Structure 1
Amino acid sequence: MDYGYANARIRGMKSRLLTHGALDDLIMKPDMDSLILELEKTPYKDEIQEAGTKYSGVYHVEYALRKNFTNTFKKILGFVEDTPAEQYIRIFLRRWDVQNIKTILRGKSIHTTADEIVDCLLPVGDLDDVTLGELIKQSDMKAVIDLMATLKIEYVKPLMRHFHEYSGENGFMIFESALDKYYYDNALAWSRGRSYDEQFIRKMLQAEIDVVNLKTILRMARDKAEPAEAKILLIEGGARLRMEDMVPLLEAKSVSSVLDRLKNTQYNVAEGIPEEHLRKEKISGIEKQLDRLIIMKGLNAFNGDPLSIAIAIGYFWAKYNEVTNIRVIARCKTADIPEERLREELFYV
């Protein structure tokens, strides 16, 4: 297809992403009110003003970010409507259907309020605000799954297959793994052709599978799970880590041992992790480093064929990174996190 028009529009949108200086201006604001006023000077102005009629504080910012993210990708889908590129972009946006379902189910499992669940959602996939809202209204996890079945939401299939295996918080990873497997299996099937676009998307998805698997392995090492128990949670089809490569990682007796075995791979993320975190087996910082690898790979898409889907995918990750950074700033302002720690949480690109 001819990507000329769509990619020209997307490059124009990229030029309006916040600079490092603009992010620094947000960081330096002393409180939430001044942060909101500063955001009104950015491309988030319309959504910030709309949110102000409904919310205050961090909820004001969260709503505006969700609305802007959703509007942005609806606009991009409009550029490529009824073309193969629309399907390629939807492959990536459907990850948020999976993430939103995970969030709702986890919220129900720990009795989180509806407002707290909504604050964690990004409705940019096929499941819109209304559908997600109806799922959130359900009383418990089973009721959510039953409604998904009634509404014929395709992601109910892996949940129903594995529902008998679920047993409280420790069993939640079974649901998460089942949803991830379902998403990635389908995404790889949708992009199995030989065109540049399909090969590009497939390589991106395969790298993500590696990262999802490494996060699972780290959690299993931290929790001292049996290798056989952990193996069933892994996803086939990664870029560099085949099942036979991951079995030795599953047999590692600690988080540090897993990281040692990754030292000679592209997933060497041990550097910079505080020794205390390794000793106490805190994996959040390691997971963040793995996320950064994927974000960087996504951003490198801008160096791909300028007349391909690569530009849209690069913008997808750049926009996601920007929204994530603003979210971190807003939440840190609410919690009075010192500036130094706040900056450690951000990922500048």
Structure 2
Amino acid sequence: MRLLQKLKRKSSPTHRGSGSNYAYATARVRAMKSNLLPRETYPRLMNMGIDEITRFIEESQYKQDVDELARVYDGVDLFEHALNRNLGVTFTKIINISEGELNYLISEYLKKYDIWSIKTILRGKYCNASVEEINDSLVAAGQLSYTFLSSLAEKESYESVIDALSGTDYYPTLKGYDGTNLSAIENQLDKEYYNGMFYAIGTPGSNDRKLFSKFIRTEIDIKNLSTLFRLKKAGVGEDEIADLILEGGLHLSMKEIEKLLPLPFSEFINSLEKYPYWEDISDIVSPEMDSLVDLETQLTRHSIKSAASFSHMYPLSIVPIMDYVLNKKNEVNNLRIILRGKAANLDEEIIRNQLVI
């Protein structure tokens, strides 16, 4: 009950007031960012075997997470859990060192990890995955603790999972899940999340809020582009794609997207030349493209570059913190890609192409 009260309290508009400690929080985050792995680390890791990589992680900033989880897990699973745990601890620390409006905005943004974990649990139940398999993918980096999330993973049915979330903001959407319409529920959770973000930002009068709004709207553009590529490539109908599009994009407004929806795949690609994302994807997209992995990697790279440029414009704002959040998440993703790729004996070129460096 205390957890659910805490969730409601943090979601309250009363936390949108002043009293933010931007100077202190951004200074702390800059120090945290200095501990991220340098770019040159990744080529070194690519030249290592599994044993050397695991030893490197054991001796890095992830040491405490590895040590605490070693009693429960081993092998690559140990490092998967250690990486997820470190991500959760790191983002919780950011929430704890921030105050006032800043705390409110960060907390709202990090709810995306609550939604990720809820989706993971429901997908797991849908696919009859084991509790261990579900727990492998949980990221307790939002407001729901790992203990609470793992207790949801242990529930016997999706109904009991949803009942346990009845005191949260997610429940009105989740109660519409009937065991068959998972994609629709996941999409609705995403839409509610971004509606919540725009409510939290409000009418962006200050430069700080304008920049944060631009950051969120760019994120929506990236998600919508990925959705358009994936579904158009699969030949999904125009109406079905429209249902999955998120509103609020920066350059890809709903009006712009409505123009793109009826286009054949080749014409759709050509029409993207006028958008700022084209520079990053032009050399990898074509009507004959088989995989979208390279595309999604390039879009992630664009997000990180954009956040970095926003960060330099307003160093005493929420954007440098978002810049760190993206880079930290990317570091964890890169390490996971290398570990899983090496463990699966994937070709090094395939692994390297998925890294965002």
Query: When the two structures are superposed, what TM-score results if normalisation uses the length of structure 1?
Result: 0.89
**What's the counterpart of residue 174 of structure 2?**
159
Q: Which amino acid aligns with 2:240?
A: E
Please state how far the C-alpha of 1:265 moved relative to its aligned partner: 1.1
Q: Does 1:18 align with 2:37?
A: yes
Q: Does 1:231 align with 2:250?
A: no
1:67-111 superposed Cα distances (whole Å, 9 cap, x missing partner): 21122122222221x421111211221111111111212222222
User: Which among 314, 318, 322 is matched to residue 327 of structure 2?
Assistant: 318
**What's the counterpart of residue 217 of structure 2?**
206
The 3 A distance-change label for structure 1 pair 99 and 237 is same
**What's the counterpart of residue 241 of structure 1?**
252
**What's the counterpart of residue 158 of structure 2?**
141
**What's the counterpart of residue 25 of structure 2?**
6
The answer (yes or no) to whether the contact 2:308–2:323 under 8 Å persists in 1 is yes
Structure 2 Cα separation of the partners of residues 86 and 265 of structure 1: 33
Q: Which amino acid aligns with 2:185?
A: F
> Unaligned stretches of 5+ in structure 2?
1-19
Structure 2 Cα separation of the partners of residues 250 and 142 of structure 1: 36
1:292-327 superposed Cα distances (whole Å, 9 cap, x missing partner): 222222233431322222221111111111111111
Structure 2 Cα separation of the partners of residues 12 and 147 of structure 1: 38
Pairs aligned (count) = 336
The answer (yes or no) to whether the contact 2:80–2:336 under 8 Å persists in 1 is yes
Structure 1 Cα separation of the partners of residues 297 and 122 of structure 2: 23
Q: Does 1:252 align with 2:263?
A: yes
**What's the counterpart of residue 295 of structure 1?**
304
Q: Which amino acid aligns with 2:257?
A: M
Q: Which runs of 4+ in 1 moved over 4 A?
A: none
The 3 A distance-change label for structure 1 pair 185 and 252 is same
The 3 A distance-change label for structure 1 pair 215 and 299 is same
Structure 1 Cα separation of the partners of residues 281 and 303 of structure 2: 16
Please state how far the C-alpha of 1:119 moved relative to its aligned partner: 1.4
Please state how far the C-alpha of 1:2 moved relative to its aligned partner: 4.1
Please state how far the C-alpha of 1:19 moved relative to its aligned partner: 0.8
Please state how far the C-alpha of 1:205 moved relative to its aligned partner: 1.0
**What's the counterpart of residue 195 of structure 2?**
185
The answer (yes or no) to whether the contact 1:192–1:199 under 8 Å persists in 2 is no
**What's the counterpart of residue 17 of structure 2?**
none
The answer (yes or no) to whether the contact 1:192–1:202 under 8 Å persists in 2 is no
Q: Which amino acid aligns with 2:60?
A: T
The 3 A distance-change label for structure 1 pair 68 and 157 is same
Structure 1 Cα separation of the partners of residues 192 and 81 of structure 2: 29
The answer (yes or no) to whether the contact 2:76–2:339 under 8 Å persists in 1 is yes
Please state how far the C-alpha of 1:208 moved relative to its aligned partner: 1.3
**What's the counterpart of residue 66 of structure 1?**
84
| RMSD between superposed Cα atoms in Å | 2.1
Structure 1 Cα separation of the partners of residues 171 and 271 of structure 2: 36
The answer (yes or no) to whether the contact 1:62–1:119 under 8 Å persists in 2 is yes
**What's the counterpart of residue 263 of structure 1?**
273
The 3 A distance-change label for structure 1 pair 265 and 280 is closer
The 3 A distance-change label for structure 1 pair 120 and 195 is same
1:189-234 superposed Cα distances (whole Å, 9 cap, x missing partner): 1001422332222111111111222222223313323322322222
Q: Which amino acid aligns with 2:169?
A: E
Structure 1 Cα separation of the partners of residues 172 and 226 of structure 2: 24
Q: Which amino acid aligns with 1:41?
A: E
Structure 1 Cα separation of the partners of residues 334 and 118 of structure 2: 23
The answer (yes or no) to whether the contact 2:293–2:354 under 8 Å persists in 1 is no
**What's the counterpart of residue 37 of structure 1?**
55
Structure 2 Cα separation of the partners of residues 317 and 55 of structure 1: 27
Structure 2 Cα separation of the partners of residues 113 and 47 of structure 1: 23
The answer (yes or no) to whether the contact 1:300–1:314 under 8 Å persists in 2 is no
Structure 1 Cα separation of the partners of residues 285 and 301 of structure 2: 17
SS in 2 for 1:47: helix
**What's the counterpart of residue 12 of structure 2?**
none
Structure 2 Cα separation of the partners of residues 223 and 145 of structure 1: 31
